[in-house]
Structure 1
Amino acid sequence: MRKDEELRYKPVPLTDLLSQLKNLSQILMSLAYCSIFFNDDTLYKEMMELDDKIDYLKSLMIMQASLAIRGGEDAERMLSVFDMAASVDKISEVSLDIAKLAYENLSIDIGDYLFINSATNFIYVIEIDLNSPFKGKTIREAFDLVKQIFDVVAVKRERSFIISPSEDYTFVLGDKVYIKGFTETIRNILKLHRIEIDIGGLKLNREILENIIYLKNLSEFMIDIAYGALFTSSKELANELLSMEEAVDEITEQLKIDVMKDKDLIDTQKLALIEFINYCEYLADAAIDMTYSLRKDVKPHPIIEKILEETDERYAILKIGGEYEDMDIVDLGVKDFGIDVLALKREGYWYLNPPIKGWKLREGDEIIIQFYREADKEVEKILGRKR
């Protein structure tokens, strides 16, 4: 949206508006992490334009949703749509605030350490130089070269940013590429580019560092689960977010104390860390807000159900009984059919992306899994064995 463009009603389908809002807010969050963890102060102004677009789409969504309300029941069910839009707006604002820290020279330069210790998806920045195997190739050709799929979040070319370029986009010398994918995929890309990771200059206390990583991952995970709960109408998942929120509250309070007491940190470093901790807490709050009406037994609007029909992703919670005590997670049968173990809850603590082998289960454990619709029947069998 141009800054001088007037805001007027346009007949855009609600599903399209909600999908665009979700995708843009996730892009903003990825760029925010890139900004603060890789000390990239160039992203903030570009992100402001994306945030303006989100505000514009949110306004169109409110107008479109208002036209669809024809009575009390419609108004109730439309709450889920408004909950999502408000949370997306909060996520984008918090992402912008995170990037602003780097813009004001308050970054937390731990990107390489985060990458080395990341279990799943990660975002990294590479530059297309003379020796880059991506130079002169399209994104689709880069997929073939790596033999794996990854997400090109954005490309900076000279003074311009291209957000979510198509697979036909061709990389040229000097492009700065923001890529996101599984850690192993990113490792392969870095290996192709002969880029070596160096964390020798890292000065942050190890315990503080690990808790920062955990807090960032948990709050980000909560956003994913909130979308999953909303799109699958799962009150059970929505309620699990409350226990995650308790974990966030507990860790943020102690982490702030640890940061303030650390004598090796200078004041600006403490300020950056405290602010980032606060923003992670705000992201967790956005996840809670997104699922408010779901926890109140208000059935999501059919438009949300339509989004579910168009997505392949499903979620479920496995509750572990005594018969699986001391067994590995893999023994549940989750290895097959593309079932991904996202988290395990034990005695109130959430372990993200636990290994499926070598991790002994205990009675009372709860596991959140993600799978595709093709695995519905297999997951039903697994759930049946847990009941």
Structure 2
Amino acid sequence: MPRLAIDTEYLSHLLKELLAIPSPTGYTDQIVRFCCSEFERLGVDYALTRRGAIQAKLTGTSPAPARALIAHVDTLGAQVRQLKDNGRLSLVSIGTWSARFAEGARCTIFTDAGTYRGTILPLKSSGHAFGDEVDTQPVGWDHIELRIDAMSRSVADLMKLGVAPGDTVAIDPQPEFLDNGFIVSRHLDDKAGVALLFAAVKSLRESGAELPVDTHILLSIAEEVGIGASSVVSSDVASMVTIDNGVTAPGQSSQEFGVTIAMADMTGPFDYHLTRKLVRLCREHDIRFQRDVFRYYRSDSASAIEAGHDVRTALITFGVDSSHGYERIHLHALRSVAELVTAYATSSVEIERDALEIGPIEGFTHQPTEEARLEKDGNAPGLEPKKP
């Protein structure tokens, strides 16, 4: 089947809308509602888990072995840890990110009494007051504070405003979409993945492409704290491809162009057969790609396996520069990953045995060894050689 076209204008517009919705882990109701309305607009059936993870489905010619494609709507953020005597707030991070990227960030504090705007600052932020000490103070969450944009000079003032420990702090994304295709913003991890997944679904729907098996479109809500796919994968799913950011940095193969296929992350190798199939699909459909190994990284794939789901997992990514910082990607990578998603969804099933949750050895996979080649050809000891 020829490579499906991706509507990049739709992809970019949707990404802008997603970035405009604050959604740190634990505060995702609004973005879940937005994504549900987008599924409705595309004519795709969906259901929600109790906490708001989304299970949508594109029906194929056969229900099994079902496939899944997953991205996450939650982002990094912070929570109020303590009300300070100076009327400011100490913070604890939501997800794993450095306080050096929190310094200077504009943000919104969500309290039971309403929302407030503020800025995250180093404890010594004024050169006029502290001189060279602004450059020598340590970096860390214990060395920053949130200055709230309201009359607040004491703990009592903060309490009058309704601020309390545990209140969610959403970091402004500050996105820029450049004419040359680069996109610079916080929270591209993984709102860019969500946008390209919707763009792929739109392409599949509009093309009328036939899917060989049911394909589940999953959106998790707590990936940044390590539990994203643990409760959103149904038992009929045999393989799951995660869509997330790649690691563009010295010592890595990821790029901001094309697809970066992760061969392994800190939890171990991804499924051998599913990963190699994605590599073959890139070659067959002339999709630019590179392979990489991520050393300090985990994704929805890890949380699914750790929750006990017996699924083949893989990770396809768009290369992000300064991931979990002030991130940058290129539209070429987003389009390329969306193209691979459509190629995978329309590809034939190669491991038919995966339709069984548990079964005999017949139909089980081979990995490339000389013994496996002989057995596959019917030339292993004890087997009659296959006739030409």
TM-score bracket, shorter-length normalisation: under 0.3
Larger relative CO (CA 8 A, sep 6+): 1 or 2?
2
Larger Rg, first or second structure (1 or 2): 2
Point out the structure with the larger helix share.
1
- TM-score, normalised to structure 1, is 0.26
Point out the structure with the larger strand share.
2
- TM-score, normalised to structure 2, is 0.26
